[in-house]
Homo-oligomer: A and B are copies of this chain.
Amino acid sequence: MTPDERLAVREVYDAYIGALDDGDYEAWPGFFLDPCRYRVTAAENWDRGLPLSLIACESVAMLEDRVTSLRRTQMFAPRRVRHFLSAMRIRRDGDAILVRANFLMLHSIEGEPTAILATGRLIDRLIETADGLRFQEKIAVYDSPLIPNSLIVPV
Interface residues of chain A, those whose CB is within 8 Å of chain B, are 3-4, 6-8, 11, 14-15, 17-18, 21-22, 43, 80, 82-89, 100-102, 104, 106, 108, 111-116, 118-121, 143-144, 146-148
Contact partner, A113, options B7, B18, B147, Cβ 8 Å? B147
Q: What number of copies of this chain does the assembly contain? A: 3
- What's the Cα separation between A150 and B119 when bound, in Å? 20
Q: Are A8 and B3 in contact (CB under 8 A)?
A: yes
Which residues does chain B contribute within 8 Å of A82, judged by CB atoms? 86-87, 102, 104, 119-121, 143
Known: A112-B144, A114-B116. A3 touches B7 (CB 8 A): yes
* Closest CB in chain B relative to A147 CB, distance in Å: 7
Q: Are A106 and B116 in contact (CB under 8 A)?
A: yes
Q: Are A86 and B17 in contact (CB under 8 A)?
A: yes
- What's the Cα separation between A80 and B141 when bound, in Å? 12
Q: Are B144 and A21 in contact (CB under 8 A)?
A: no
Contact partner, A143, options B4, B84, B108, B121, Cβ 8 Å? B108
